[in-house]
Structure 1
């Protein structure tokens, strides 16, 4: 009985250790090769094919796909139910960073750098190739863990890292949202959007090496059901190239 008691105690301790270790595992272990941001609008007649393309990208484990609905087409007769002015501002800031002033829908920005027509798969794939420069993953590692209501973000540079100044962001998202559109250019259509961003939340600064950041889980998922983390360079307070990214659980 004595030896049996020791064995039971050891088994319980082992199971507890395994459970603890499991709780610290990365939410998503495969590092992405690209972040694809689609600026779209429910009032844009040419956007539905791009929305569908983003749904397809959202299913690829090595792609972080994001929908950012803009509000500047609301005057056409239908107010976008998911749009936010901060997404419009982000799209314009990207245009200023590129010095091309091109703001349109549907527009995809790949890795914070390359613009493409959002419905043109070939051009989006080309943009991914150009911005990754032969790499299979983004140059900065981002690992997410969740424990006791807290999201821990670990950021680590790799030998491929050349830029070491960036900001860390967490973006709550709705994994899937279907919207029946009653007026405007898409009247009568029902469109499903993938990974709809709900807000842009700055977590802190990264200046190379290894760094850790903690965010309450409630904030990470606020108004959404999942989240994404981005490590993004800045260019005179404008968004720059995306150095690293990770998906939260369930994406």
Structure 2
């Protein structure tokens, strides 16, 4: 007869062996610049929510504030997100700033509700790759988040910034005025800030940030490895998201 203790130890040993496989690197980061004051945005917000449910996509909502004058002040917007969108436009030299706008992998801009165009932009920005080129892994321990980055710097890149973004997984807002007056909209993966924690120049490197800083006033966080030229954001080389996003 096999004792209960033997069964328990056997189960523990089996549990130790059966560990979930590491997720593949994401194939895309999509950033939706949206506004509660934009009547065209709710369909794009729904697309972003759909993308957020895909494990190989890092989907982020960046609420902007430039439509606040239309009668409703966006309750989630931040001026820094407006500046990020403008910086993307300057980097592309097209100066196109509108809502809803989706930026794919830091390079491709398209209408945020155009699901087919978003997918095409992912394919184009990946240039035949199945996923982003640099691995980014996260580990939480003793109140710290350790960010492990490993990969080769692309030939035309000298360095990249390691950015941590606190994220609110879901937020439902009832809009009282403006173009969406009376509507209730649920936003997915709402960014609450952007913090630079280091610079990566290739190879294996580790960065640490307090877990409280990574989460901020959100309930999760995303790490981006993004190139930049002066003040302009560039291609995103790697990304990772905390559990639950």
C-alpha contact (below 8 Å) 1:41/1:80 kept by paired residues: yes
Structure 1 spans left out of the alignment, 5+ residues: 1-6
Q: Name the count of aligned residue pairs.
A: 237
Alpha-carbon distance between aligned partners in 2 of 1:147 and 1:31, rounded to the nearest angstrom? 22
Pairwise mapping of residues 122-161 of structure 1 onto structure 2 (< 5 A)? 122-158=116-152, 161=154
Match of 2:56 among 53, 59, 62: 62
Structure 1 counterpart SS, 2:87: helix
What does residue 40 of structure 1 align with?
34
Deviation at 1:175, TM superposition (A): 0.5
Using the TM superposition, give the Cα deviation of residue 164 of structure 1 relative to its aligned residue in structure 2, in angstroms: 4.6
Q: Secondary structure at the match of 2:178?
A: coil
* Distance (Å, rounded) in 2 between the aligned partners of 1:98 and 1:175: 29
Indicate the residue corresponding to 1:199 in structure 2: 193
Please, which of 218, 222, 225 is the counterpart of residue 231 of structure 1? 225
- What SS is found at the alignment partner of 1:60? coil
Higher mean alpha-carbon deviation, 160-169 vs 237-246, is at 160-169
Please list, as runs of the form range in 1=range in 2, the aligned pairs for 1:180-219 lying within 5 A after superposition.
180-219=174-213
Asked whether the 8 Å contact 1:29–1:143 carries over to 2, the reply is no
Secondary structure of the corresponding residue to residue 24 of structure 2: coil
Distance in 2, Cα, partners of 1:139 & 1:237: 23
Q: Are 2:158 and 1:168 equivalent residues in the alignment? A: no
Counterpart CA distance in 1 for 2:185 and 2:24 is: 29
- Specify every segment of 5 or more residues in structure 2 that has no aligned partner in the other structure, as ranges: none
CA distance in 2, matches of 1:175, 1:55: 10
Looking at structure 2, the residues matched to 50 and 29 of structure 1 have their Cα atoms a distance apart, in angstroms, of: 27
2:95 is equivalent to residue 107 of structure 1: no
The CA deviation at 1:232 is: 0.1
User: What secondary structure does 1:202 align onto?
Assistant: strand
Alignment counterpart, residue 241 of structure 1, candidates 211, 214, 235: 235
8 Å Cα contact 1:30-1:61 kept in structure 2: no
- Would you say 1:71 and 2:65 are equivalent positions? yes
Q: Distance in 1 between matches of 2:27 and 2:197?
A: 22
Q: CA deviation at 1:122?
A: 1.1
How far does the alpha carbon of each residue in 1:51-95 deviate from its partner, in whole angstroms, 9 at most, with x for none? 000000000000000000000000000000000000000000000
Deviation at 1:31, TM superposition (A): 1.1
CA RMSD of aligned residues (A): 2.4
Structure 1 CA distance, aligned partners of 2:24 and 2:38? 34
Distance in 2 between residues matched to 1:237 and 1:181, nearest whole Å: 34
Q: TM-score if structure 1 supplies the norm length?
A: 0.89
Secondary structure of the structure 1 residue equivalent to 2:83: helix
